[in-house]
Structure 1
């Protein structure tokens, strides 16, 4: 009897001294990390199933005794008595959200603004308060006008020396861009179609046209064509002239070295409807100019600041606003071609502006995501160009080299959006 009591006591002592976490091994299972994870035997019943790969202990290594010891690889801060960022079982055995995570949630909630949804996107309510831009109908109507309406006047204006202001028979007007350098014509027209591909509606309707003094549409202005030193059979771009434009200034959020537009409640609450609409459009402008590497707008102000410290307080170059607050993105001829050749010199300015942006139009972000995953922006641009321009054979298409640069810059914007979502969503 004494021998039996001694045996029972010995066995009981062993049980009491066993570690709290024991995983007897009858087979080995590899997790995502490459570490072996212990699995209980089937005989222990359905309640003791294989350790889930979603368990916080999945990145741990079993000892030769079947005891799991945590291995800190930098991603499991909640193990070994540290803070629980998972919001589930905590290191002290209690359940619920940790104080650290509660603080993070409180900070995010307090920073939220009704003008922003899902962390980093302008709300539809805010966007609806902003004036509408150019529509597909505007573009079709414009193409129909320049194809059928006679030009009755051609005069200096619209920027560069050989550009002209054209007046049609119905009194509508157009800025006509004439360039000896083909890639400036390409930059303007392909930037326009990129804006359509992105759903950005701040670029005025534009289309190619052929100078032809024999054509009845040009016959009234043959003298002005000669004075302009335009060559016959030369491709030009007709861009709709918008009346009553005013200069547009760079928002204070982008003027200083600490430039930043993030979804902070105190920032949004300090803005009136007009200022908010400016910021909505500027979020598109920064993306558009980054993709095209346009150096003749905001980058122009940033670069010239080295000679004029007040440059960022002056109107943005080639950016105007209508009387109702719609921003007009003008003169995009450096985009996609000339700007790409000068990336070594100006890339840091473009990157600084992109890094400062953490609020986006949802539709623009979706277009970026689609183009990033499809990898087909070059093909889509060339297709859109050839389908919409009868003169598509008169100028070269977007080269493969330029398409690759554009695709990479789309990836940069996509990554910026993801970075902001991780911070604010």
Structure 2
């Protein structure tokens, strides 16, 4: 009987050892399966990121489908022509959050439209000119994220019967009427990959897109694409206001702030508004000029249509004069500003920034081909 008990104990021990061995093998296989699944998931993420690009430096057609579309050019011009003939029926003081301070206003037109109105008290009126010029440049470049602008003389019959004296406006003043954007917010933040590029000094290129795990949604891809176009545009027009909250070098925490003079529609489209602080302030060494230049060097991935149009524009003897002629075709009132702005100096400055932008794009292209 004693021998049988000893045999039973040994048998139980042996069975336990076999069971433990089987469990270990099972856990090991499960762990390997998990690791394999994680690796496959990571590879799929990288593969998906790769399908966003073409030719090393361009977003492909698939990626650009995530960017919400604005008004087409033909509809944009029709809108401007229609607004140019609408009578102003009501003038309302603007405020800090709606259309801005400084003598600006909100107007209601007889067709029911609402417009923001930009006014400038100085004789030069460079801000009014800049608003209109920026819009026409954006359209010439194929962009659709700058709202339409109409220059209007407040002494014209279209303003008859309106009260604008309390705004500090004077007869025969020119104002810029800017399309009202519905269902928007001021919550436009710098994408994390651009923040990383600012901090590291290394641009967002195909390697970054290939390896990042931050482009997990259509929205994140859309915002990165739109920021890239905004950065090029702001450097080109010498905008000194949009990125002013990003005091680069003061502290990285400031890079988490909301971008100034931008709006986001409920569908995720980023609008570049208040382009008054552009073009005609002639300080090439200013902090904001340096900031725009530094921001330009944070990105080496571009929208193909934009690069194509930039290169086409650069082929003209003077790109600035070509844009100016294009703009006055639709907005003849711009001619009145020529005597009040430093026209030739502004032209030279613009042409230099265009050359600088294309030079950076070519550097990105060369870097991509050497990989």
TM (norm. structure 2) is 0.78
The CA deviation string for residues 328-369 of structure 1, in whole angstroms up to 9 with x for no partner, is: 00111111112x325343332122111111000001111122
CA RMSD of aligned residues (A): 2.3
Q: Is the 8 A contact 2:300 2:364 kept in 1?
A: yes
The CA deviation string for residues 256-290 of structure 1, in whole angstroms up to 9 with x for no partner, is: 52263222312277331111111111111000001
Q: Is the 8 A contact 1:245 1:322 kept in 2?
A: yes
Mapping of 1:191-230 within 5 angstroms? 191-212=134-155, 215=157, 217-221=158-162, 223=163, 225-230=164-169
Matched with 1:278 is 223
Shift of 1:227: 1.0
Among candidates 379, 394, 398, match of residue 336 of structure 2: 394
Q: Is the 8 A contact 2:118 2:175 kept in 1?
A: yes
Q: Secondary structure of the equivalent of 1:302?
A: coil
Q: Distance in 2 between matches of 1:110 and 1:277?
A: 18
Matched with 2:126 is 183
The CA deviation string for residues 85-131 of structure 1, in whole angstroms up to 9 with x for no partner, is: xxxxxxxxxxxxxxxxxxxxxxxx98971101000001011112321
Matched with 1:374 is 316
Among candidates 332, 355, 365, match of residue 411 of structure 1: 355
Does residue 181 of structure 2 align to residue 242 of structure 1?
yes
Q: Distance in 1 between matches of 2:345 and 2:331?
A: 22
Q: Distance in 1 between matches of 2:138 and 2:148?
A: 11
The answer for unaligned runs of 5 or more in structure 1 is 1-108
Q: Which has the larger radius of gyration?
A: 1
Matched with 1:159 is 100
Q: Is the 8 A contact 1:139 1:206 kept in 2?
A: no
Q: Distance in 2 between matches of 1:332 and 1:396?
A: 18
Bigger Cα displacement from structure 2, 146-155 vs 408-417 = 146-155
Among candidates 294, 299, 302, match of residue 360 of structure 1: 302
Q: Distance in 2 between matches of 1:211 and 1:138?
A: 25
Matched with 1:150 is 87
The answer for unaligned runs of 5 or more in structure 2 is 1-45
Q: Is the 8 A contact 2:151 2:174 kept in 1?
A: yes
Q: Is the 8 A contact 2:215 2:221 kept in 1?
A: no
TM (norm. structure 1) is 0.68
CA 1:347–1:218: 2 relative to 1, 3 Å: closer
